[in-house]
Amino acid sequence: MGALPNPTSNLQKVEKWHECRIDSTHWLAYSPYIEIPTTGKVKNTVCELLGMSANTPTDLCFSFTGLTRRGGETGPHKDGWGVAFYEGKGVRMFHDPEPCATSPIADFVAKLPIKSKNAICHIRQANVGNINLANTHPFTRELWGQYWVFAHNGQLPSFTGSTGIYEAVGDTDSEALFCDIMNNVRQNLSRDATPEQLTETLVSLSQSYAQQGVFNCLLSNGEWMFTFCSTKLASITRRAPFGPACLSDVEVEIDFAAETTPKDVVSIIATEPLTNDEQWDIYERGEWKLWQDGEIIASGMVDVPDHKKEAEMTSPDPALHIEKC
């Protein structure tokens, strides 16, 4: 999401978090740790996704720094965050139910150049499920000797998945969806299923979920990354000749030419563009892509309905553990 207007004016500090939703596009918030606008126009009121697919181990510091500003500073996504980095067959994961804009763990990760070919990050604005560590994305499960990692943006409040060996630990619709995907893949495909067969299953499941509500997702097994857009997703592929880029949410600029080699290919997938001086590809509704080594190896489009406005569909549940004013 973009920055709130006039980020340097109308600021104040108070003693504890409060949140008031004025209407579907306005919010009022206070924080004990950071100064943020007391009022502002919100362009996106759901969770946000960030994924990376690269042909060489690459750090996510630049994009991660931009995304975390939206977690309580330039945006309202303050209900937890998480990130998963594939390193060989292992996955290095960090989760925190606190706002990532003020999280010491997020600050540590932003400065740590963890090299990965596939990474998935999520910042949360809760709408289904309480605000706690168990409900922070991304979620992970093992299948066929690989860790599968999943993050979701959207809402399917009445979703009921199929039964199987995979069960949700928390109480979000997102984790229930992930378990449903894993149960379906395990029950209907074999370990030696072709990428085409796997993709067909993932697309079919994604389309069925998008019929029921907002379903934007990132899913990876460490070899590839599957992305599906129900309402909003964008991507950019950086390759030689590399140039500079500037983040939209914080004054940070990088010269990729000084950080890469001519053979590097790095693709970033995000809910909304993270830079203001590059050309991003905006997904269409119902568009899906399969990424590997920074390249799109398969893509397509399916029909999905146009649900009621995202802001209306994903307003936080009043029963959530958020202190209201």
Q: Which of 20, 47, 100, 179 is catalytic?
A: 47
Euclidean distance between CA atoms 273 and 74, whole angstroms: 14
Quote the longest CA-to-CA distance of the chain: 58
Buried b / exposed e along 53-88 (16+ C-beta atoms within 10 A):
bbbeebbbbbbbbbbbbbbbbbbbbbbbbbbbbbee
Euclidean distance between CA atoms 125 and 174, whole angstroms: 12
Report whether 68 contacts 101 (CB < 8 A): yes
Partners of residue 21 on adjacent β-strands? 27
47 catalytically annotated = yes
Specify the residue for token string 């979703």: 159
**DSSP state letters, 150-195:** EEEEEE-TT-----SS---SSS-HHHHHHHHHHHHHHHHS-TT--H
Partners of residue 18 on adjacent β-strands? 30
Euclidean distance between CA atoms 304 and 211, whole angstroms: 6
Angle, in degrees to the nearest 10, between helices 173-188 and 195-212: 140
Report whether 47 contacts 123 (CB < 8 A): yes
**Residues with active-site annotation:** 47
